[in-house]
Amino acid sequence: MKFSELLKGLTPYTAGEQPKNKKYIKLNTNENAYPPSPSVRGVLAAFDADALRLYPDPDASELKLTLAERYGLSPENIFTGNGSDEILGFCFPAFFDRESPPVLFPDVTYSFYPVYAALYGIPYKTPPLRADYTVDAACYSPLVSPSQGVIIANPNAPTGIALPLYGIEEILVQNRETVVIVDEAYAEFGGVTAMPLIDEYDNLLVVRTFSKAYSLAGIRCGYAVGQKPLIDALGVIKNSFNSYTLDSLTIKIAAAACRDMEYYDMINERIANIRDGAARRLRADGFTVLDSAANFLFLKKDGVCGERLFSALKERGILTRHFKGSRTSDFIRATVGTDTETEVFCGAVKEIADGILHGKG
């Protein structure tokens, strides 16, 4: 069989495991610990199967209107997609060229960004996070690194650390002529949001998802917010690829979830409290835990290999995530679960680390 030259050069993203047989405490893909809001159930119960005969609204107008209302914007400022991954994937052909300066994103960040860059053959460069894993906004100045755009996950993944708004603004000011994509997959868990800067900066695109804060990873829905030219550009790419990226059920479910913010604020505040309690406890037990504004913790213990910690937890029925790479391999990333799940995780990770250290000593 003939395959493309492109295909041979690709290393695809590895998604976190979705176990099928064994029952795990699943803390590996940052899904929400709590169920979707009551009105999501209502939509599912009331949904008329006959409606599935027709193609969905290619513009997802109901969802765009709901989101626009919520942010005090116009539907022209909103783009919706099949998960924020799809939107990020559309950003590369919409804003970046092959024969141009590199796109910039941190050395430690969401590992899908370099995969999209490779798919579209777009050059990229990865300014290092500081030693404390914070983003150094100065690295994104064209005087330091000429670029054709910047992508910042805020809070960052897998560190969980949020860059204050003045850092985002510094990057926006330095790059007036090129797009700055702020991936806010975890903003609802206590990070800052760049949303208020949309009016002032025509180079800002904020990307959000229903997967984490809305407990809807199963429906695949994300959105982007920005000024009209950026949104229109994404529309051109989408309509050159697939007119119907959101199915009719997803549009209704996501719109219903947006109208239940009281519920979501409540569960996400609860998750933030569990996160902060767990971080304190783990630090008291001698772990290094980065300051997380997301629904996960990135932690390590001196003298304990991250991969061993990951494997031992898995053997005990607790799934976390381990990332190879010189700056991440000492760590594991654990989603913040319910109170009980978090209790079990904190106890197990301490026992395992102590066992490894004593075994050695």
Query: Counting contacts by CB under 6 A, is residue 233 touching ligand PLP?
Result: no
Chain centroid offset of residue 108 CA: 13
d(CA 319, CA 335): 9
Stretch near ligand PLP under the rule CB under 6 A, chosen from 7-15, 80-88, 118-126, 310-318: 80-88
d(CA 27, CA 6): 34
- Asked whether the beta carbons of 222 and 78 are under 8 A apart, the reply is no
Stretch near ligand PLP under the rule CB under 6 A, chosen from 81-89, 121-129, 256-264, 303-311: 81-89
Sign of CA dihedral 199, 203, 204, 207: positive
Query: Counting contacts by CB under 6 A, is residue 161 touching ligand PLP?
Result: no
Helix locations, the chain, DSSP H: 5-8, 38-46, 61-71, 83-95, 113-120, 165-174, 228-238, 248-258, 261-284, 306-315, 339-360
Stretch near ligand PLP under the rule CB under 6 A, chosen from 19-27, 35-43, 83-91, 193-201: 83-91
Query: Counting contacts by CB under 6 A, is residue 153 touching ligand PLP?
Result: yes
Out of 181, 182, 185, 304, the residue judged to bind ligand PLP by CB under 6 A: 185
Name the residue nearer to ligand PLP (CB basis): 25 or 217.
217
Q: Which 132-151 residues touch ligand PLP, going by CB under 6 A?
A: none
Out of 43, 157, 163, 348, the residue judged to bind ligand PLP by CB under 6 A: 157
Query: Counting contacts by CB under 6 A, is residue 84 touching ligand PLP?
Result: yes
Query: Counting contacts by CB under 6 A, is residue 211 touching ligand PLP?
Result: yes
Name the residue nearer to ligand PLP (CB basis): 157 or 233.
157
Stretch near ligand PLP under the rule CB under 6 A, chosen from 40-48, 66-74, 209-217, 328-336: 209-217
Which residues in 65-85 are b (16+ Cβ under 10 Å) and which e?
bbbbeebebebebbbbbbbbb
Query: Counting contacts by CB under 6 A, is residue 312 touching ligand PLP?
Result: no
- Asked whether the beta carbons of 236 and 58 are under 8 A apart, the reply is no
CA–CA distance from 151 to each of 26, 166, 213, 300, 359 (Å)?
28, 16, 21, 26, 43
The residues of the shown chain that bind ligand PLP, judged by CB under 6 A, are 30, 83-85, 110, 153, 157, 183, 185, 209, 211, 217, 222
